[in-house]
Amino acid sequence: MRVSILVIIVFIVFSKILLAQDDHNSSDLYPTAIFHSLAEKKDDNGNVVIYQDDRLNKIVWKHVSQNKEFNGVQGFRIRIFSDLGQAAREKSQDANAKFNELFPEISVYREYDSPYFKVYAGDYRTKNDAIKDFKRIKTYFPSAFIVPGRINFPKLDD
């Protein structure tokens, strides 16, 4: 009995050691891994060597695929209008048009969340980013406030 338990333990230990020696390339499993692109050698830009656990790539890949699935990332928007009733649709269109006139550089979104018509402004990654525009918006839309929610992916500068 003791010998069989000892054999099983030795087998498990050696199998773990052998699996840890697996030399597969994580970039094959995760083609968009940022770590792989960092490690690629570029013309006259030096050499980057990254020593990391493969589980890190898996976690990053999981985060990227979850964000793609939900079509956006967690962030903040400024709600400038919310109302219900028969005239709420027209009022939301008016608020949308007024906001576009006053702040053409900030994106605006209309939403119908039964029974409310809502108008949101901006795509902010942090609340501090939202506060900067909120101070300007509050003068024209006194009932505005910051809300957490899914936002569009930020635009990347090339």
Which strand ranges, in their side-by-side order, compose the sheet holding 108-113? 108-113, 116-124, 73-83, 145-151
Task: Report residue 93: phi and psi, to 5°.
Answer: -65, -40
- Give me the residue spans of the domains in the chain: 28-41+48-69, 73-151
- Structure-model confidence comparison of residues 35 and 49, the more confident one: 49
pLDDT higher than 80, residue 47:
no
pLDDT higher than 70, residue 6:
no
Average pLDDT of the residues in 48-77? 81
pLDDT higher than 60, residue 31:
no
CA atoms of 81 and 78, how far apart (whole Å):
9
Q: What is the pLDDT of residue 75?
A: 92
Smallest CA-to-CA distance from 78 within 60, 102, 54, 62 is with 102
CATH code of the domain occupying 73-151? 3.30.70.1070
Instruction: Kindly report, residue by residue over 102-124, the tens digit of the pLDDT.
Output: 999 999 999 999 999 999 999 99
